[in-house]
Amino acid sequence: MTAASHVPPHALLRPAIALPLLLVALIWGSTWIVITGQIGDYPASWSVAWRFLIATPAMFAVALLMGKSLRIGRTGHLLAVALGLFQFCGNFNFVYRAELHLTSGIVATMFSLMIVTNAIGGQVVLGQSVTRRFYLGGAIALSGIALLLIHEARIAPLEGRVALGILLALGGILSASTANILQATRGAAGLPMASLLGWAMLYGTLFNMVLGWWEAGWPGFPADATYWMGAAWLALAGSVVTFPLYYTLIRKIGAGRAAYQNILVIIIAMVISTFLEGYRWTPLAVTGGLLALAGMAVALRARSVPAAEPAPDADRTARSPSA
């Protein structure tokens, strides 16, 4: 049983925990809509590359300000390469492309399925136990997401648009889950998180540039100031600010309770999508949204049971957001 498992449930209401939890949810809930301004007229791979080219030096600066060494050794660099490939290249390229075909709120809701894929990966690779209640919650959430996607398919103007968006989102989910499992291995346990993230973002940036060059050549720099404002928000707020806050929360209250912010992220993303993307709520969509939230609540409550809380190094399979 970890130190975090001794934290009582009402600790979530303490300002030192509740305020960072709310801040992370507000930022990650907003990033989904900001991504829509980074795609369409400009190659997605280059947009991801600029995002992490901005984020990388900032993350290194955070590591230095925290007094962490940037030396992570050969094993650390191999892990950073893998994280850069799966988390900061594959995951985000899938996400950016998925939002070409689905509204940002729907993509955000789909990514709640990472809770399930992380649990399965943790059980298979790391030997972590998963309760039946957790899988029950995942099944309920999946049924709700299915209803949301059916609603999306009914209003989609282009044939095949939703199907392609679903496949791209699933690719992002699997890529991000792979990264989550990698960062939970014993090889990652002793590495300073900020330093590891800095190197992973650097390698991810290089992968994105190579992919962007192969995909579209050199596209030039976007001239729209709004584009760069969005890229800066995604890099600094959506990546550099939130990751240290989120992992600090995990150390304080455990991964299960920290993951409650995922429910807030979905609510915020869907509200923003409603007002800015004209998302239309029908009885089918409302039912799907409620089922998705209810299923997540059941699954997350199952994961937050103290006796089932994994060890600190394994705890990092917690739900890392992708946006």
Sign, Cα dihedral of 44, 81, 27, 230 = negative
User: Is the confidence at residue 69, as pLDDT, over 60?
Assistant: yes
User: Is the confidence at residue 258, as pLDDT, over 60?
Assistant: no
User: Is the confidence at residue 31, as pLDDT, over 70?
Assistant: yes
Question: What one-letter code names the amino acid at 157?
Answer: P
Sign, Cα dihedral of 218, 51, 79, 67 = positive
CB-CB contact of 118 with 177 (8 Å)? yes
Closest by Cα among 193, 210, 196 to 244: 193
- C-alpha 169/C-alpha 171 separation (Å) is 5
Which percentage of the chain shows pLDDT scores above 70? 81
User: Is the confidence at residue 270, as pLDDT, over 80?
Assistant: yes
- C-alpha 273/C-alpha 279 separation (Å) is 6
CB-CB contact of 310 with 269 (8 Å)? no
Question: What one-letter code names the amino acid at 285?
Answer: A
**Helices within 217-313 (DSSP H only):** 225-232, 242-253, 255-258, 261-276, 283-303
CB-CB contact of 255 with 317 (8 Å)? yes
Return all residues near 220 (Cβ < 8 A) that are at least 6 apart: none
pLDDT in tens, 189-233: 788 889 999 999 999 999 999 999 999 999 999 989 999 999 999
Question: What one-letter code names the amino acid at 137?
Answer: G
User: Is the confidence at residue 96, as pLDDT, over 80?
Assistant: yes
Based on C-alpha coordinates, what's the Rg of the chain?
19
Burial annotation 29-38 (CB, 10 A radius, 16+ → b, else e): bbbbbbbbbb
**For residue 188, what pLDDT is reported?**
75
Query: What are the angstrom distances between the C-alpha of 313 and each of 75, 93, 160, 281, 318?
Result: 16, 28, 42, 41, 11
User: In the chain, where are the structural domains located?
Assistant: 3-317
- φ/ψ of 312, rounded to 5, equals -55, -40
Query: What are the angstrom distances between the C-alpha of 124 and each of 26, 118, 178?
Result: 32, 10, 12
Q: How far apart are the two ends of the chain, measured CA to CA in Å? A: 31
User: Is the confidence at residue 72, as pLDDT, over 60?
Assistant: yes
Question: Residue 5: which H helix or E strand, with range?
Answer: none
